[in-house]
Amino acid sequence: MPMKLVKTESENELEVERILHAKRYSLTLDRNLCVGCEICKTICPREAIEIKIVPKVNGEKAKQPIIDVDEQKCQYCGICNTLCPFGALKVRVDGEHVISVVKTESFPQLIRDIEVDTTKCDLDCVECEKACPLEIIEVSVRTPDGKEVSDIAKSKKKNVSVHVDIKTDLCPSCRLCEMQCPEGAVRVRKMFHGVMKINQEKCPEGCQDCLDVCPITGALYLGDNEKVHVNELYCIYCGVCKLVCPEEEALELQRTSVHHTPVRSGAWNKALEKLTSTTEMTKELRAKGSMKARGSVEKRLAYKEVS
Amino acid sequence: MSEEPRVGVFVCHCGLNIAGVIDVEEVTEYAKTLPNVVLAVHNRYICTAPGQAEIRTAIKEHKLNRVVVAACSPRLHESTFRRCITEIGLNPYVLEMANIREFSSWCHLSTPREATNEAKKIVKIAVAKARLLQALETIEFPVTNKALIIGGGIAGISAALDLADMGFKVYLVEKSESIGGHMAQLDKTFPTLDCSICIEGPKMVDVSRHPNIEIISYANILHVEGFVGNFRVKVRKNPRYVIADNCTGCGECRDVCPIEFPNKWDLNMGVRKAISLPFDQAVPLVYTINMDHCIECYKCVDVCGARQAINFDQQPEEIELNVGAIIVAIGFESYLPYTDHQYGYGKYDNVITALEFERLILAAGPTSGKVIRASDGEKPHSIVFIQCVGSRDVNKYEYCSGFCCMYTLKHAVMLKEKYKDDIQIYIIYTDMRSDFKGYEEFYNRAQKAGVHFVRVKLENRSVTEDPGTKNLIVHAETEGDQPVEIAAEMVVLANAAIPVQDAADLAKLLNIPIETDGFFVECQPKIRPSDTDIPGIFLAGACLGLKDIPYSVAQGSGAAAQASTILSRSTWIIEPFIAKVDEGICSGCKICKSVCDYNAVQIEKTHEKELAKVIDGLCRGCGTCSAACPTGAITMPLYTDAQVIAQVRAALEEVM
């Protein structure tokens, strides 16, 4: 059979496929998980991902941008899969979830560092579950053999324990659950670090487009002056706000580092540079002490750091 | 030669070929009356040794300084008589042939009187020209004893090995990463069912190890100039991003590379890594990074380590080759029948082409030799082969692709021997062509193996699919208009083989003609099947017209032998028929350059004047420039204006 490059789209999912006689590759985008933040587009090494800004209709709230993947360009390397903070993208080979860049250790994975000490949990507390803006936390009380207890009062609170199930793959590590936990049982380490500023004097009157599209409750909020404020405690630096902002200089977003598994990879250096900046990227390289990789990057990008 | 012309006319009987119709006595007597003719004789066979001796004696005795031989076509014996008169000390170019055989006796068999008159006129015209003939010198060029072979398929490989064994330096330029061509893609060869790569692989290795052969693969021909014995060819080596000298072919880079992309070598049915070889036996054994797919993770750089074979900064490199002869052996391509909608290729998953099937059944192929359907990965229990898809079709390719009947028989026999009664094979054909050594016997073997042959008309064949099971039904009509329907779990199309896409571009670079169907044209299909119209450029293999492996090998060797007739000389001599420019008259208008079909005219700048200059080696002596020159600055030394006008005058005067 001759090769087929196929794209199928539905309301909930976008799928691109490369179908060969003997092998089948696919990349799926779960539109329910995707917030349109542009990270995948930024780091795609083959520029296969496009982003479409949804034009704003007067009187309506701003909508999150829409991701499109070019089936002619996608190489199914899985870099977007590893870096999507929301776990919206998935590559499969012959139906199995295989990220080739991870398998061959040629690209790092995000470290989703979330710890819950359930011994501290109150049996009837579900604050973290309530706090999660993406609804990926499920709190339950179970008996030692794993049975869920529906009526906590009846169980006499003996021999039962609290379980906190977090769909880690989908967690962008906003820390809302950590901050809302009354017992200090949750600890979340952010994946993306950076600086986010709103120059309110540049904000158009009454505009809160950034707030409309922000996936994290409380990262942006409307202040008393009717202007949007940022709470960097929760901000995940995904950048979807900047995409919809009508004023070029109103929002300033600069990522500084990404929490990832250690790996030597030119593709990562390039991705990191695009996500942060050349300075931050070389900082990381220096930290790694990887002189050779640095040399190769310098050669490739004709970039020489001024020491 | 300023002395008075003394013309000798020798009329030949050519047995009865001439004398049976023409009164040679009368022609001889008439010749004696023509101006400056001091001798006219006739002889039964002038081309024989005694005949030639008579000419030499006459030249000596009568102090002849111009010779007219009234006999056959100059194509046949002009060179014989030129040699003959040279032996007695005359310049070879004071000879003129009067062709009274082809132009008179043969075409006026029943009218001897008119034939005789016509012969007299032809002799008169020849004498008129002969009186004005001048001594001329031949032109010699040194010959570069190296050859260029374009295309590293089996024809090119054969030619390269033969020439290299003769001791000539050979440059083998191949467009793709590896030599081998189509033969390296095949599983078995008909009719012996030998493993294809097992036969070709050692030959490929021989090529790579031969001290006289330099393989320039992953390269394109950019520009060709010069002429026989002295071609200059510009070649671009495309960057592999791997330094050939440092690459050991170990494959460690391939193992760590994260990216897979469809392998064209496998007809995109399987994959290869972004740094890889197209196939394991590739020659040269040098890896290539495909930048259309690479994500630049530099894993390969890391693992290659101290060998330092990988260079992401590699640039295309242009080199110039100086060669004496060129052999073109660029092979063929497969026609992909997407537009023949009736077969459903590209639409139905289980319809594939023959070459795709070849990769499927090949042990080293993308499925490790398992014949499976694309729709469900299952082995089919029935396969229908449809012959002549695109070939023998006046709307597509009118010609017969030549080898499809045989490869289909091969596929059928291989399937039957592999799966026995577990598979039903049908071949839908119109004519079965098995006309070389051992081929008909192979056809019989297929019949005995239980393959079903269904003879149908070329028209009205189609395939339909059951969307649920993805099974297929092949529809056709017999010669007697009876409908035929055959259910199949897989359909294999014997798709046409077609000229290589860039054949026309190469033809332009080399200034050689191509046929309307896109294949190159040989100089003479019967007796010069490897020559082009351009001296020093030869053809071999399927680029000339489709042919199978043994025929391509033979033609490669044939072209090598032809090329060696040039390469083995130290100089190449051309006759002085080439255009001459009188610099004093040339106005530099460049009309000659614009009309020259052979790029033989160059414009040179001298002291504030532009002048036409003819490159001797390229000039074919056609005279177009001379006729087009408005100032009369260009002369054809063998056909000067004065000579041609004298001939025309003679032709228009009444013959007595």
The residues of B whose Cβ lies within 8 A of any Cβ of A are 256-262, 267-271, 274, 293, 295-299, 301-302, 312-313, 336, 345-346, 349-352, 356, 360, 366-367, 372, 374
- A223 belongs to a structural domain: yes
Neighbours of A238 (CB within 10 A): 26
- Does the CB of A301 have a partner CB in chain B at under 8 Å? no
pLDDT higher than threshold 70 for residue A306: no
- Determine, yes or no, domain membership for A103: no
Of A165, A189, A213, the residue at which a domain comes to its end is: A189
pLDDT at A287: 77
Residue among A2, A25, A103 minimizing CB distance to B346: A2
pLDDT more than 90, % of chain B: 92
Confirm whether A107 is domain-assigned. Answer: no
Per-residue pLDDT of B426-444, as tens digits, reads 999 999 999 899 999 999 9
Q: Are residues A54 and A131 located together in one domain of the fold?
A: no
- For residues A145 and A79, membership in a common domain is answered with no
- CB proximity A266 to B under 8 Å: yes
| A21 vs B260, B302, B366: nearest CB | B366
Which of A21, A25, A300 has the CB atom closest to B374's CB atom? Answer: A21
pLDDT tens-digit readout, B500-519 = 999 999 999 999 999 999 99
Q: Is residue A41 part of a domain?
A: yes
Q: H or E stretch including B233? A: strand B230-237
Give the integer Cα–Cα distance in Å for B235 and B233.
6
Q: In which band, very low, low, confident or very high, does the pLDDT at B653 lie, cut at 50, 70 and 90?
A: confident
Chain B residue numbers with beta carbons less than 8 Å from the beta carbon of A40 are: none
Residues A219 and A175 in one domain: no
A83 and A20 part of one domain: yes
- Is pLDDT of A157 > 70? no
Go through B284-323 and write b for each residue having 16 or more CB atoms within 10 A of its CB, e for each that does not: bbbbbbbeebbbbbbbbbbbbeeeebbbbeeeeeeeebeb
Which domains, ranges and CATH numbers included, belong to chain B? Answer: 7-136 (3.40.50), 138-238+316-331+510-570 (3.50.50.60), 239-314 (no CATH), 334-498 (3.50.50.60), 575-637 (3.30.70.20)
Contact list in B for residue A78 (CB cut-off 8 A) is 258
Sequence letter at residue A11 = E
Same domain assignment for residues A41 and A75: yes
Output the pLDDT for position A149: 82
Last residue of a domain, one of A168, A189, A210: A189
**Cα gap A94→A282, rounded to integer Å:** 38
Q: How far is B592 from chain A (nearest CA, A)?
A: 50
Alpha carbon distance B115, B16 (integer Å): 14
What's the average model confidence in pLDDT over B65-70? 96
Scanning every residue of chain A, which has its alpha carbon at the shortest distance from the alpha carbon of B365?
A: A22
Taking CB atoms and an 8 Å cutoff, what residues of chain B touch A292? 302
In the sheet with A4-9, reading across from the earlier edge strand, the strands are: A4-9, A13-19, A24-30, A89-93, A96-97
The whole-angstrom separation of Cα A162 and Cα A128 is 12
- Averaged over B401-418, what is the pLDDT? 96
Same domain, A9 and A74: yes
Cα B66-B70-B75 angle, rounded to 5 deg: 95
The structure tokens listed for B365 are 């192929």
pLDDT over threshold 80, residue A294: no
From B634's Cα to the closest Cα of chain A, the distance in A is 58
Measure A94 CA to nearest chain B CA, in Å: 11
Nearest to A296 among B274, B298, B360 (CB): B298
ipTM given for this complex: 0.86
A293 in B contact zone (CB under 8 Å) = yes
Least confident interval from B32-41, B322-331, B528-537, B607-616: B607-616
SS in 3 state form for B202-225? HHHHHHHHCCCEEEECCEEEEEEE
Helices (H), B319-403: 354-361
CA dist B358 and B340 (Å) reads: 21
Q: What pLDDT does B564 receive?
A: 97
Looking at the partner chain, which of B269, B312, B313 has a beta carbon nearest the beta carbon of A21? B269
The answer, yes or no, to whether residue A156 has pLDDT greater than 70, is no
Q: Is A306 on the interface with B (CB under 8 A)?
A: no
Collect all residues of chain A within an 8 Å Cβ-Cβ radius of residue B346.
2
Look-up: residue for tokens 């009444």?
Answer: B654
How far does A19 lie from chain B, in Å, by closest CA?
9
CB A46 to CB B352 under 8 A?
Answer: no
- A100 CB within 8 Å of a chain B CB: yes
Say if A67 falls within a structural domain.
yes
Q: Do A1 and B256 touch (CB under 8 A)?
A: no
Mean pLDDT score across all residues of chain B: 94
Q: Are residues A65 and A19 both part of a single domain? A: yes
DSSP per residue, chain A: ---EEEEEE-SSEEEEEEE-SS-EEEEEEETTT----SHHHHH-TT--EEEEPPPPPTTSPP---EEEE-TTT-----HHHHH-TT--EEEEETTEE--HHHHTT-S--B--EEEE-GGG--TT--HHHHH-TT--EEEEEE-TTSPBPS-TTTTTT-S-EEEEEE-GGG-----HHHHH-TT--EEEE-SEEEEEEE-GGGSPTT--HHHHH-SSBTTEEE-TTSSEEE-TTT-----HHHHH-SSTTTEEEEEEEE-B-----HHHHHHHHHHS-HHHHHHHHHHHT-HHHHHHHHHHHT-----
Interchain CB contact of A264 with B (< 8 Å): yes
- Whether residue B257 and residue A104 make contact (CB cut-off 8 A), yes or no, is yes
Please report the number of interchain residue pairs, chain A to chain B, with beta-carbon separation below 8 angstroms: 105
Q: Which of A4, A5, A21, A294 to mutate to test the interface with B (most CBs of B within 10 A)?
A: A21
* Cβ–Cβ contact A71 with B under 8 A: no
CB contact under 8 A, B366 and A20: yes
How far A222 CA lies from chain B's nearest CA (Å)? 42
**Same domain, yes or no: A169 and A154:** yes
Question: How many domains does chain A fold into?
Answer: 4
If asked whether residues A67 and A129 sit together in one domain, one would say no
On whether any CB of chain B is under 8 Å from the CB of A251, the answer is no
Per-residue model confidence (pLDDT) at position A295: 66
Within 10 angstroms of residue B23's Cβ, the number of other Cβ atoms is: 17
pLDDT of residue A239: 93
The CA distance from B335 to the nearest CA of chain A, in Å, is 13
Q: What is the pLDDT of residue B467?
A: 95
- Residue A189 is predicted with a pLDDT of 94
Q: Which domain holds residue A278?
A: 259-307
Query: In chain B, which residue's Cα lies nearest the Cα of A108?
Result: B297
CATH number at residue A222: 3.30.70.20
CA distance B219 to chain A (A): 25
Which residue is associated with the tokens 């269904």? B454
Same domain membership, residue A240 and residue A181? no
- Interface contact flag, B374 A1, Cβ < 8 Å: yes
Q: Contact B100/B9 with Cβ under 8 angstroms?
A: no
Residue-wise pLDDT for B173-188, tens only, equals 999 999 999 999 999 9
Chain A hits for B301, Cβ within 8 Å: 266, 296
The chain A residue lying nearest B490, using CA atoms, is A1
Question: Among partner residues A20, A46, A106, which is closest to B262 by beta-carbon distance?
Answer: A20
Assess contact for A228 and A208: CB atoms under 8 A: yes
Query: B130-178, pLDDT tens digit by residue?
Result: 999 999 999 999 999 999 999 999 999 999 999 999 999 999 999 999 9
Average pLDDT over residues B340-345: 95
Instruction: Provide the 8-state DSSP code for B267.
Output: T
Same domain (yes/no): A206, A145: no
Q: Which two tokens stand for residue B421?
A: 């009664």
Locate the chain A residue with the closest alpha carbon to B369.
A22
Residues in B closer than 8 angstroms to A103, CB to CB, are 258
Q: Does A22 touch chain B (CB under 8 A)?
A: yes
Tell me the per-residue pLDDT of B558-617, one tens digit each, with 9 for 90 and over: 999 999 999 999 999 988 889 999 988 999 899 999 999 888 999 998 877 889 999 988
Query: Is residue A294 less than 8 Å (CB to CB) from chain B?
Result: no
Are residues A273 and A238 located together in one domain of the fold? no
Write out chain B residues lying below 8 Å of A300, CB-based.
Answer: 296, 312-313
Interchain pair A1, B352: CB under 8 A: yes
Q: Among A159, A189, A219, where does a domain finish? A: A189
Residue type, A199: N
Task: Tell me the per-residue pLDDT of B190-208, one tens digit each, with 9 for 90 and over.
Answer: 999 999 999 999 999 999 9
Q: A304 lies in a domain?
A: yes
* Confidence (pLDDT) at A139: 93
Strand partners, B455: B429
Residue B514 DSSP code: B
Is the full-model pTM beyond 0.90?
Answer: no
**Which chain B residue's Cα is nearest to A76?**
B259
Does some domain include residue A150?
Answer: yes
Q: Does A106 reside within a domain?
A: no
Contact B271 A23 (CB under 8 A): yes
Tens of pLDDT, residues B275-329: 999 999 999 999 999 999 999 999 999 999 999 999 999 999 999 999 999 999 9
* A300 near B CB under 8 A: yes
